[in-house]
Structure 1
Amino acid sequence: MATDPRFAGLVEAARALQPRTVALRRKIHKFPERGLNLPGTQASVMHALDGLGIQVMKGEKVSSVIAVLTGARPGPTVLLRGDMDALPLQEDSGLSYASEVDGVMHACGHDTHTAMLVSAARLLTSRKEALAGRVVFMFQPGEEGYHGAKYMIDEGILDAGGRPIERAFALHITATDTSGVIRSKAGAMLAAADNFVVRITGRGGHGAIPHDALDPVPAAAAIVGALQTMVTRHISVFEPVVVTVGRLTAGTTSNIIPETAELEGTFRSLSEASRAKVREELPKLCHHVAASYGCTAEVDLHQGYPVTVNDDVIGPHVVELAGAVLGQRYAAPMPTPLMGAEDFSYVLQKVPGAFAFLGACPPGVEPADADPNHSNRVHFDESALANGVAMYAAFALDTLR
């Protein structure tokens, strides 16, 4: 594969596009948008793709962009995805191109994904004679909790190339790994993540006479502890599950026993079986613990993203491909899954493919010390973007032999 003529000069071509990649990234970074409605970002992508001679379409219900490149010969269809949305965060990075939108920031690097995918489209267009099939470029809004990938699937992204997608690939940048390194693996890459809200109701009263009240606060505290016991006693030790209570609120002042207490959290799992088990056990536990304190519990479960599962062959092949195209020092297997979640999982439920990480730790900083994704001070090494562009292009060239 290292001598494959399809990959000759690929990294050099990606580096030649670096000024365009960086310029688009910084433009999007400066004017971030959240959720499913990203009109400015959508317009920037449409403008950047204009003139390439590829088919470009807008989403109907969301601000997505779909582009289709048809190769010189017939063949399968491959999908490349880049998400476009930002986070509700006030930027404090000190960058010259920092967000100018109050309370909104590209803290997860989706601006880089968008820019890399546009440059990959430009690179692949210049090599369309080497393509036997079609490439569908998926520019997706609403990854940060809005199920944007599902909206695009419902609108027909998987048939946009005129025939079913046969392979799919997505990259995600991370500031806490060595710059330029690609990581992937077989099987589960990221967890399913679901939210829960528990409202415990007792009977309020005076802090001096708690025996005349039904205090929901100790019931809530007991539930927090019992949730961890649930994980160790109802879920197999070979099925990783993480339950986190991130909010517990009750009361208004020190001498009043409140009528209600509320807690909110997440549970994350690496299989649909363990996910279903938690969804079954968590409400029962909350009801029974609350009842033991004379209280009642109302439990709301909010389904998040499924487990992100790489194809057993394609996942490791991405690492091999990175070694062949970028060099072995830029290719590394992902040792373990992460318990974060990602809505590219919806695509991988329907199409064999892979999700991979691209390291972009800034110069002069050790990866372990770098501000992570979702920090308002996160900084990505832009020199890594050329490797991302090359990997997007290589995946398509490798699939469309």
Structure 2
Amino acid sequence: MHSDTREDSTPDFVAMGAALSSELIALRRELHQIPELAFELPRTQARLLAALKGLPLEIHPLDGVSGFWATLRGGRPGPTVLLRADMDALPVTEQSGESFASSNGAMHACGHDLHMSGMVGAVKILSQLREQIAGTVLFMFQPNEETPAGARLMLEQGLLDATGERPVVAWGLHEMPYPAGTVHISQGAQMASNCQFTATFTGSGGHGSAPHAAIDPVPAVLDLGQQLQNLVTREFSVFDPVVCTVTQLRAGEAINVIHDTASLGATVRAVSREATERFARRSVELARAVAAAHRCEVEAGFRVNCPTTINDPRAARIAAATAQELFGAERVVGMEHPVMASEDFSYVLEQVPGAFFFFGALPEGVDPAGAPQLHSPLARYNDAVLGDQAALLAALAFKGASSQRDFEGASSQGGFEGALSQRDED
């Protein structure tokens, strides 16, 4: 294993990650075979703690649920930097055909097994460099991202005060079916908010043959479904997009009955706080107006499950610059548009400046256009990227902890190239 241990030198993170690659792949495949859900992850947590045993860490388990954070204190004083990996799987029966596929009815169909393994690699690299680190690295091993509820719980239990001072920057990543080893990042919204809208209309039931003698809530539900689409296309700019998809329609069981109630549910995604807040207000107003038009009562509500994942532009530039230094410019992609899926690391980024980025893990020989997507029972990931993934996380934490200037210095520069030119001048 190669690393230059002189105090003022830059470690060879790529070489250090490569030296761990086989170990990390083996760990990932073990974790893949024991997927667990939500907050109950005892086998997963035990395997991770075993992988971290003997390292110079302070481990703090969460109260009442699986999950923990670990603290690595550097050899010199400095700020705290946060790294995050999520631990939970999905209630999906695996059909990937992998030799190490899960057989317990759950599946790491979203790549969290790679996230955990890459984080273990980053911990091991940084532990080797502990005396060179000016500051503290806080490793966030989070349960229940899929609901999502885990990030909020960790924040409530004191994550950001774990080292005695709040982190100056936070980093997280997600595997995606993009070309292996590529890094994809935005300087603003990286992923959309995850919200839900529900409306239950109450009328007056009756016989299906005599609608004039009843107040039928079904037409109100159908009308609202259409009006929500008009709301998206007529009140929101295409440059600040909102997606509203009606996924639930409910009334009664009997086909010849006009039932008293009917309801609608929709998932809503937006890429700005302003659009999320405005859609919340207008959707409820619209439901009330539709109810009045149909002579019904309505209970309507809007809930934000997690906000938009918004990268700090400075942090995004530094992440991109660091990835270019490690892997070359051809492996770094500045995203033109956010992904409309959601991510509860957004709660951390509301309180700590930082960035969330995607790491390509497309298997060899698979066409990106036809690759199974996240959450698919057919999803497969290329774990050969784990050495590089660990290297990038470690480099970000090392540079962020060793020099706040790296984080602050990009603030006045424009674009990813600004961070590169600033770092080159330094």
Task: Tell me if TM exceeds 0.5.
Answer: yes
Selected match of 2:143 from 141, 144, 165:
141
Are positions 1:215 and 2:222 aligned together? no
Counterpart position of 2:15: 12
CA contact (8 A) 2:62 2:157 kept: yes
Are positions 1:182 and 2:183 aligned together? yes
Counterpart position of 1:122: 124
Bigger mean CA deviation after superposition, 341-350 or 269-278: 269-278
Deviation at 1:12, TM superposition (A): 2.0
Q: Distance in 2 between matches of 1:264 and 1:231?
A: 16
Deviation at 1:240, TM superposition (A): 1.5
CA contact (8 A) 2:190 2:311 kept: yes
Match of 2:324, SS? helix
Deviation at 1:389, TM superposition (A): 0.8
1:196-275 equivalent positions in 2, closer than 5 A: 196-275=197-276
Q: Distance in 2 between matches of 1:27 and 1:198?
A: 44
1:2-401 equivalent positions in 2, closer than 5 A: 7-102=10-105, 104-175=106-177, 177-401=178-402
Q: Distance in 2 between matches of 1:249 and 1:239?
A: 31
Deviation at 1:290, TM superposition (A): 2.3
Q: Relative to structure 1, is the Cα distance of residues 313 and 207 closer, same or farther in structure 2, using a 3 angstrom cutoff?
A: same
Return the letter of the residue paired with 2:158. Answer: G
CA contact (8 A) 1:46 1:65 kept: no
Structure 1: stretches of 5+ with no match in the other structure: none
Structure 2: stretches of 5+ with no match in the other structure: 403-426
Deviation at 1:236, TM superposition (A): 4.1
Q: Distance in 1 between matches of 2:269 and 2:323?
A: 30
Bigger mean CA deviation after superposition, 63-72 or 131-140: 63-72
Return the letter of the residue paired with 1:226. Answer: Q
Identity %: 41
Return the letter of the residue paired with 2:142. Answer: Q
- Cα shift readout 1:127-168 (whole Å, capped 9, x = no counterpart): 223211111111000111232111111211112223221111
CA contact (8 A) 1:62 1:151 kept: no
Q: Distance in 2 between matches of 1:218 and 1:231?
A: 20
Aligned length: 397
CA contact (8 A) 2:13 2:392 kept: no
Q: Distance in 1 between matches of 2:111 and 2:239?
A: 32
Return the letter of the residue paired with 1:158. Answer: L
CA contact (8 A) 1:199 1:262 kept: yes
Q: Distance in 2 between matches of 1:37 and 1:169?
A: 25
CA contact (8 A) 1:235 1:277 kept: no
Match of 1:340, SS? coil
